[in-house]
Structures are given as structure tokens and as C-alpha cells.
Amino acid sequence: MKKIFFLPLCLLFHSYAQGQDNPNNSFFVTVNDGLRVLSTYKSQLAGKSYGVDIGYQVNMSNSSAEWVGSLNVSGISFVGSYFNMQNISLSGMPGSKGSIGSGYGISSGLDLSLFKIGAATFSFSPGIGIVYLTQTFYNNNYNFIVGSNVNIMLRAGLKLQIPTGPSTGIQLGTSVIHCSNGCFQKPDDGLNIVNVSLGIIKYIDYGGPAKPNSFADGGDDSFESNSFEFALTAGRQGDANLGLFKNPKTGQNMWLPDSVAKKNKAGLYQAHFYAGYNYQITAPLSLRVGVDGVYYQKTFSYQNFFQTYQGMFTSYKHISLGISAGGRLWLGRIAFDVNFGYYVYYAALYPDQHFYIIPGAECYLNSRIAVTVKTFMAQSLAPQDLSLGLVLNVK
């Protein structure tokens, strides 16, 4: 045990003693041990997973982009991932082993340098991507968690990169990965994977100064400025609600059999409008305040409970209005934001669900127009829908 603990210390000392310059780019391969796979309280899981990541890191230490320096970005990583969850089962249901299947994902993320010891770098690494899951509710009788094969993947982790030679290194890390489809197709309880990892790094052009890097330069700093913003998006929520529901009006329990839900891949559609103002604080950060409007395709009816029920966002009226405020993080042409809001007009089935959260991402085509993806979430963090649309900035 002491030898195992002593090895990383030796490697740290070795990398410190070398005192080499930063590499340019690198390839890496890591083996991941899934300590836990979690879902909601309704779908508790047992068993472990394992997997592999294969990636390419672009060194950003010599980038001229202002946001790179402000956020202390050391690299941008592109990763292909494999998850084997064949040993996972629903707690208390041994026959469900393998019902989650396997996953194949691609993602991109930032490596934010926290501190260095010699040439060794300790980083925080958030990322986003997509993952294909082989088993869903619609092809496996035990899978009450996953409603669609294609899902959004969010990941966040800590990693330590240690050079061990002129062109090689090792990488140790831990991460949390979340997979869900934003309720685009229910059920969507979501999967959460807690990993530890160990891998090898192959550095490219190691030993020389980092080359000038314009990979993430926005090319136009007008993306990041004070502006009025207008957004229009359209979204979808699956309506295959499963299991036991209590009618909030009568208190009566209602049950939708799985056999009925499997035949129901229809969706409930909404349109969203946002009008607001962005105030730039620094190059990568701006504050936002605005008005949100939602149009619901269907309103709630007790006579058609399962066809019109939309979870915490169930509404008796077609229109709801709210006010929200939040922030946006600019990464050149790419931006990530989150607003926290309160409905001022909302004919809700659940009267206490007036708070909401809107996380989103934008890709700017030019300084005025962007493509955006957003999800609306209740105060309980339950997604309403996954929506796609356009943003117009007026400066």
C-alpha cells in the first residue's frame, strides 16, 4: 500500500525535476472504473460499470483569445467514450441485470488549470456531448429509466496530468457523467455515472515552446458586448408518463400500464419566446435579465389525463409569462447561459411550481444571429422540454 502511494509522489518529483516546456497537443487513452451508477429515487440501481475514453487535447496555453486567459484554459479536449453497464440492475430486481446496456459517446470540454507542480497539471474539466444508449424502455421490459437511444451527455471532473518522459505521461482523474434527453422522450429518469480513471498520454512536439494557437479565437470580439436579445425556440416533451400518479384535484391514484406507455411515443409541443438585455462584465461573462413566454400546444384535461399531463409544468391555459435573470459565459462563438425565473402568469395544475430554470447554449453564426438549444426546468429540476431555435442580438 505504501508503494502504491509512493509512486505518484515519485512521478510528481520526476516531472518537477524535468522542468520541461509545455507540449503542443496530445492524445490520451484512459480506462474508467464506475464506482456508482445512479438514477432517481424511483429507479435505484445496483452494480458497477466500466469504460474507456480515447481523446485528443488541443493545448491552449499560447492562445490569444481573451476568454482563454480569463478562465485559465489549458486545453480543449475531444473525447470518444465507451460505457459498459451490462452489470447494472434495478435494486431488488435481479432479472433486470443488463437492461441498461452499453453507451457510446462523443464530447468536447475545457481543461481549466487549477494549479501546477513542476510540469504536472491539476485541472477541472467540464464538458458536453451526446451518447447513444443501446437499451431503452421501448426495447427492454426492465428499463424504466431511458426513453431514447440518443441522449445529451454532461460531464465534470478533476484530472491530474503528469509527464513521465520526453513524449509520454499519465493521467489520473475522477468524473461525474449525466445522461438524459431533456424529457424529449419519456421515461427520462437520467443516468449518473461516477468514475475514477487512469490512462496514458502521448505528447506531440514535446520539449519546445507551445506554438501560437488561434483554435478558439472568436475572430470578432463583437460577440461579447452589451445587447438586447430576442430568442424564439420550439420544444418537445414526451407524454408516455409511467407508473403511479396521484390526481392533485381528487387525490385518486392513477396508473398507466407499461404496455400502454410502450405504444405511446407521441409528444407535447411548446414554443418559447425570450426578450432581454445582456450587460457585459468581463470578456467571458455577462449578466442577463428578460421576459419569458411559453405557448403550450395542449392544455390539461382530467378527462384526458395521460395525454395532456406535463409533469410539474402542466397548465390549464395555453400561455404563461415569467421574468428571469442570470448569466452567460462566452467562449468565442460559443456561449453557455442559465437564467432563474418566476412565472407572473401561469394557470398551473401545481400552484407551488412558479419558479423555473433555463439552461442553454448558443453557437453564433455572426455577431447578430445564433442557433440555440435550451431546456426549461421546474424548481424541482424536472425538465419540461428540449427546445431548438434562433437568437437575434441587437446592439
User: Going from the N-terminus, what domains does the chain have, and what CATH number goes with each?
Assistant: 2-204 (2.40.160.20), 221-394 (2.40.160.20)
41-67 pLDDT per residue, tens: 566 788 889 999 999 999 888 888 888
The region of weakest confidence among 51-55, 59-63, 100-104, 194-198 is 59-63
Q: What is the predicted pLDDT for the residue at 361?
A: 94
pTM of the predicted protein model: 0.82
Mean pLDDT throughout 286-301? 91
What percent of the chain stands above pLDDT 90? 44
Residue 276 phi/psi, 5° resolution? -160, -175
